[in-house]
Structures are given as C-alpha cells and as structure tokens.
Amino acid sequence: MKRTARKIYRGWWIVVGGFFIMATSYAVFVNCLGLFLVPITQSLGLTRAQFNANSSIAAVVGVVASLLIGRLMDRHSIRLLGILSVAITVLDMFLWSFVTALWQMYLLSFVAGFVVISGARLLISILIANWFDAKRGLALSIALSGSGVGGVVMSQLCAWLIATDGWRPAFRIVSVVTLVFALPLTLTFRNRPADIGLEPYGAGSQAKPASPDGSELDRRAVIRSTAFWVLMAGFFFTGVINGGVILNISASLTDAGHTTAFAANIVSVQLLALIVGKISLGAVYDRFGIASGTLLGSVTTVLATASMLLAHTDWAPPLFALCFGFGTCLGTVAPPLMVTSHFGGRHLGSLVGAVTAIEMFGVALGAVLMGRTHDITGTYALGWIALTAAGVIMTALLLLSVGLARKLTRPRHNQRTRGELL
C-alpha cells in the first residue's frame, strides 16, 4: 500500500519567514547596533548619550507605531505590511552608511522605529498567534529566535567589517543580506489561515479561551481591567531593562577593562543563549503555563543585571550573557502569549500593540538614562543597580497580572454556572 506524503502545515513556512526577518532587519538594529557605538561616536565626534538617543528615538516612535500597526494588522493585509517593512528597512540600513550629521542619524532611527523596532516584531508575533492554537509558544519562539541566530552571525560580521573596512561598509553589506534573505519570504504571509481555507494549527485541541465559559473579553472590558494595566506596567519595566542593557553592554565591558574582542564574544554568547532561551521559554509557556514561563524569564533578567556590578571580573560577563540570553526573551516572546492567555484572541493586534507601545516607551527611557548615568558619573555602576531594581519590580507586576487575569474571568463563569443550576 502506497503511503501518501504528509504535507507541511503552511503556518510553519510563516515561522521560517519570521525567523529570517528577525535574523536580519531586527538583529542588526537591536542586537548589533551597540557594536557601532564606539566607532561612530569617535568618527562623528558624538557623546555616548547622543548615540544612545537613536535607540530612544526609535523606541518613542515605536510607542505610536505599535498602536497604529497593531490596528492595521487587525484590518489590512499583513503580507503587504511585511513587504513594506522589509523594503524600507533595507533602504534605512543602506542610508546609515552615508550619515555625516547627528540629525541624519536621528531621522533614520525615526524610520526604524516604525518598520523595525515595532513593525517587524509585532507583525511576526501577531501573525503566528493567528496561525497557531497548539504549539503557539514554540512556533513564536522559533520565529523570534531568529534575532539571536542573526545576532550571532551579524555581530561577528559587523565586528569584522568595522575592524577591517570601517562602519560605513558594514551597513551597506548587511542591507544587501537583509534584502536577499528576508524580503522574498514575506510573500508567504497571510493574515489568518481562514484566508486560504485552513484552520489554525491544532485548532480546538489546546486552545485556552479567555474565560472558563469559552467566551472572549471585548476590548473595552480588557482596557477597564486592573489586570491589563498591571501587565502594561510590568512590560514598561521590561523595556527599561532591555533599553538600558542592549546598547550599553559592549561599552560597559570595555570600560571595565576588557578588550573589544572580549566584548564582542560576550555579545555572541548572549545571542547564542538567546536562541536557546527563546525556544526554551516558548516550550515552558506551552508545557507549564504562563506563570512558570514568566517567572523563568524574570529571574534570569534580575540575575543578569546584578552580575554586571562585577563586570571587571572574568566570570561575571559570561554569567550575564547566559542569564540575559534567557531574560531578554521575555520582552518578545511573552506579550502575545500573555495577552492571549489573559484576555483571549479578539483584538489581538491592538492589545499586543498597546503592550508593545508601553514596552518601547520603557526602552526609550532606559537607553537615555543608562547613557546619561555614564556621562555624569563616568561609570555604569549606578545604572546596573537601577536596572536590577527595575527587574524586581517587573517580576512582581507580571506575576500579579497572571493572578488578576484569572480573577477577571471568574465572575462570568460563576454567573453561568448559577444559571445552569436554576
């Protein structure tokens, strides 16, 4: 008897597309931009605070962009939005190589805030949440782990290009890499499986509705709930930590007496840990639930920032790299999973967009304060203390939101039960 080949579910190709977008456009601007801090500031005569403002500008723009893009994804073609996002990103990267003034850099960061910092990540998160009921955490984490894989490759490539040819050729080359590997895959995108006659992966098998009676919370009810605002506050501190760490880790290590090569290696180790962390965190969310995944991501974040108070030692930077590789995943993997778990899948784009917006606001604040702290004190020590405190607050708020979300749905469930008994 002839066996028929089992077709690969279309959603997994979308996961592949998301992976390569994160590995190129997102990785360069988020995971690798810190490698350009020293050469660009030296070349253009800028302070570190001025350079770090690029991240802040992108993040502030991302606040508005996340709200706008989230609504657009609920109503319009994600494929078209994906094509535009990658194409504009390629052009933005290429133009960075011609920057001669601070305002030009800030203008390009403004654009990146729309299409990379918020657009790419948010687009992929919502798209995969729409296509997967079962294994949602795993699918999302695989796609988002592209930033780690791409970050490892791109950080080494950028470091080598900067050392041999300078920072301007580095931007030109990575723009071509992004064009080749990311743009064609956006053609696979569709908003929902129903658009091509399919159901979400695992439809009906493992889906967890927003309430025990199987109903979905509407957007007005979500926004009025304490659980939503506590969740927002928690991700604000997530953003503060990521904004403070990502752009400043390389400079913090070199200031502590380590070589540039050592700093690049630590970034690479952190990105390798990020790859494992994103996949592992997604699996923890799928297997053990929202609270367990959130606790793992939060605790490793606190350990990472605290370890940098001993950045001058040989053992603390590798510990940071391993812990932050897991911890930073919280900011990308958790929002769509927590929103879906807390409030259901209705209005997913706008709700995740709102959470992403507040996280981007935190990123902007964290980046500015970390750079400003260094400029005033001459050291990052006070900044690392502040980020550790922020991590403790973040942990408490995110875990509190889980409990509040459970209580949010209970009255509706009890009401239905009483009705059935009558």
Mean pLDDT of the chain: 82
201 phi/psi in degrees, rounded to 5: -60, 125
* CA–CA gap between residue 391 and residue 368 (Å, rounded): 17
Structure tokens at 68: 């706008």
Kindly report, residue by residue over 196-246, the tens digit of the pLDDT. 888 887 766 544 444 433 445 666 777 788 889 999 999 999 999 998 998
pLDDT for 258 equals 87
DSSP one-letter code for 378: S
Give the number of C-alpha atoms closer than 13 A to the C-alpha of residue 298, restricted to the C-beta side.
22
Structure tokens at 388: 């550790």
* CA–CA gap between residue 329 and residue 74 (Å, rounded): 25
Kindly report, residue by residue over 167-178, the tens digit of the pLDDT. 999 999 999 999
List the chain domain ranges: 10-190+207-410
Kindly report, residue by residue over 341-369, the tens digit of the pLDDT. 887 666 677 788 888 888 888 887 888 88
CATH number corresponding to 10-190+207-410: 1.20.1250.20
pLDDT for 6 equals 62
Kindly report, residue by residue over 26-47, the tens digit of the pLDDT. 888 877 887 888 899 888 988 8
Per-residue pLDDT band at 129 (split at 50, 70, 90): confident
> Helix/strand/coil (H, E, C) string of 83-133?
HHHHHHHHHHHHHHCCCCCHHHHHHHHHHHHHHHHHHHHHHHHHHHHHHEC
pLDDT for 93 equals 93
pTM (predicted TM-score): 0.72
Indicate whether 338 pLDDT > 70.
Answer: yes
Of 356, 343, 346, 353, the C-alpha closest to 401 is 343
What's the mean pLDDT in 97-118? 89
Q: Sign of torsion, CA 344 345 350 354?
A: positive
Give the number of C-alpha atoms closer than 13 A to the C-alpha of residue 130, restricted to the C-beta side.
25
* CA–CA gap between residue 57 and residue 73 (Å, rounded): 23
Indicate whether 387 pLDDT > 80.
Answer: yes
pLDDT for 411 equals 44
Could you tell me if 65 and 189 are in contact, meaning their C-beta atoms sit under 8 angstroms apart? no
* CA–CA gap between residue 236 and residue 231 (Å, rounded): 9
* CA–CA gap between residue 34 and residue 29 (Å, rounded): 9
Kindly report, residue by residue over 253-297, the tens digit of the pLDDT. 988 888 878 887 888 788 788 788 888 888 888 888 888 889 999
DSSP one-letter code for 113: I
Q: Sign of torsion, CA 215 221 223 225?
A: negative
Residues 6+ apart with CB under 8 A from 331: 235, 238, 239, 242, 359
Structure tokens at 315: 């053992």
* CA–CA gap between residue 26 and residue 147 (Å, rounded): 6
